[in-house]
Structure 1
């Protein structure tokens, strides 16, 4: 699989925002993981245009990330802005 344990730990550690690196449930960490997976699937679909199952999975991931970003925006706008800026996501 493309997402090894070490890579996941690195993503969570980088986006823990002063919390413990094992805090995998924080919105920032989940959004960062979704973003990594989305970029990987996007690259896959560039070479495999007819892969409908992957396309559907990608759309679900984008929806999950969007809902998580909306939640973070409702709860704490400053954290939302920091995540958007750090990951380079555009609305």
Structure 2
């Protein structure tokens, strides 16, 4: 699991495994209401991807979730391509902060 997202998972029994979106938005957004910037969207997708990857390590036959994971990876890839085409420095920054290999 990505080290960037290990602290953002809730540990309560009701929301176990759920990501804390507010913490991710606070870390990657320009302000607390910034939920639409590509950096925030990429960070939220990355946390969901890492969570689903852990799920699939335990449940190897869950092909429905695997398809959803592949769709999330594609969506993140398109957002990263968009950021790269507009501002290479922002792209390099988000890749480094999230630890995504490219």
Task: Name the TM-score, length of structure 2 as normaliser.
Answer: 0.82
- Residue in structure 2 matched with residue 9 of structure 1 by the alignment: 22
Q: Which residue of structure 2 lines up, in the alignment, with residue 52 of structure 1?
A: 63
Count of paired positions: 87
Secondary structure in 1 matching 2:35: coil
Gaps of 5+ in 2: 1-14
- Structure 2 counterpart of 1:30, from 41, 64, 70: 41
Q: Which runs of 4+ in 1 moved over 2 A?
A: 1-4
Give the superposition deviation at 1:51. 0.3
CA RMSD in angstroms, aligned pairs only: 1.1
Give the whole-Å Cα distance in 2 for the aligned partners of 1:43 and 1:12.
22
Shift of 1:22: 1.2
Give the alignment's TM-score, normalised by structure 1: 0.91
How many Å separate the matches in 2 of 1:3 and 1:77?
A: 31
Q: Which residue of 1 aligns with 2:5?
A: none
Unaligned runs of 5+ in 1: none
